[in-house]
Amino acid sequence: MTLLAAYVVCLGAIVGSFLNVCIVRWPKDESVVRPRSKCPHCQHGIAWYDNVPVVSWLLRRGRCRHCAAPIAWVNYDKQKYRKKKENIKKTIDEK
Ligand SMILES: [Zn+2]
């Protein structure tokens, strides 16, 4: 049972990480495969060993290996999200 739980957690982390990439890249009409993930601050490519879902983030303590800038737990454009939320609210209020 413990092995099954570990498997489910790993699978969830992998799927969740991939979906996060989709959420960030699809609105920009970018591929989810290439280019590789990069640091949002220094634009340095993230190596495979620094891109293992959850584990790498915890080991690096949420910071980039190259510039040590913090990397958010969930990567999304906050301003864009806030604007969309406001637009949805306006649409609802108008009805
Ligand atoms: Zn960096």
- Asked whether the beta carbons of 80 and 72 are under 8 A apart, the reply is no
8 C-alpha vs ligand 1 centroid, how far in Å?
31
Q: What is the DSSP string of 16-48?
A: HHHHHHHHHHGGGT--SSSSPPB-TTT-PBPPG
pLDDT, average across residues 3-17: 92
38 C-alpha vs ligand 1 centroid, how far in Å?
8
pLDDT single digits (tens) 14-60: 998 889 888 888 888 888 888 888 888 898 988 889 888 888 888 98
Q: Which amino acid is at 22?
A: C
36 C-alpha vs ligand 1 centroid, how far in Å?
14
Global pTM? 0.62
In which element (H, E) is residue 57 found?
helix 55-59
Cα 64 from Cα 67, distance rounded (Å)? 6
